[in-house]
Amino acid sequence: MADPIVVAASEVFEESIRGLRAAITGLSAEGLNWRPAGTDTNPIAVLAVHAMGSTRSWLAVAFGAPLPERDRDAEFRTVAGGPEELIEHVDRVVEDCRSLLAGTGAFDPGARRTSHVRTSSGQAEVVSGAWAMLHAVEHLSEHVGHAQLTRQLWEQRGS
């Protein structure tokens, strides 16, 4: 029988992915790379690449899987050539995340696991499997909301 926590996380993940795809689909490269309030804000392309990289990383921590290669700083320099390119990137990472959620590793909510080195502290964090799972889906949902709002602002900017 599937772990109900993993099932719930999978459902939240899939809902977020639908929202992210909707925020990307049909936008021009200009819209995907637009910064709504100047250089200190993130465009949809950055939000999508960062959210997916983070989600894959935290799910690996949650399941005790090897940490994926990740260049967090490069995620924030992303420039999308168009929606198809960005959706292809998202879909590649989605498959990795689905594999983790489908049980390629053992989910032990109480297991203490080590994350990537964090940019903010310069050190890895040791967290529970439960914390990593919850953080993976809540962080993804948060950035999907940012992407959805950014799209709304993009679409309303000329009104």
Quick one: pLDDT at residue 151? Answer: 97
To 10 degrees, the CA torsion angle through 133, 151, 25, 48?
-30
**How many domains in the chain?**
1
Quick one: pLDDT at residue 1? Answer: 63
157: its two tokens: 């900017």
**Residue 68 belongs to domain with CATH number:** 1.20.120.450
Task: Quickly state the pLDDT bin for 159 (edges 50, 70, 90).
Answer: low
DSSP helix/strand/coil, 112: strand
pTM of the model: 0.94
- Average pLDDT of 35-58? 96
Q: Residue 145 is part of which domain span?
A: 4-156
Task: Quickly state the pLDDT bin for 119 (edges 50, 70, 90).
Answer: confident
Task: Quickly state the pLDDT bin for 95 (edges 50, 70, 90).
Answer: very high
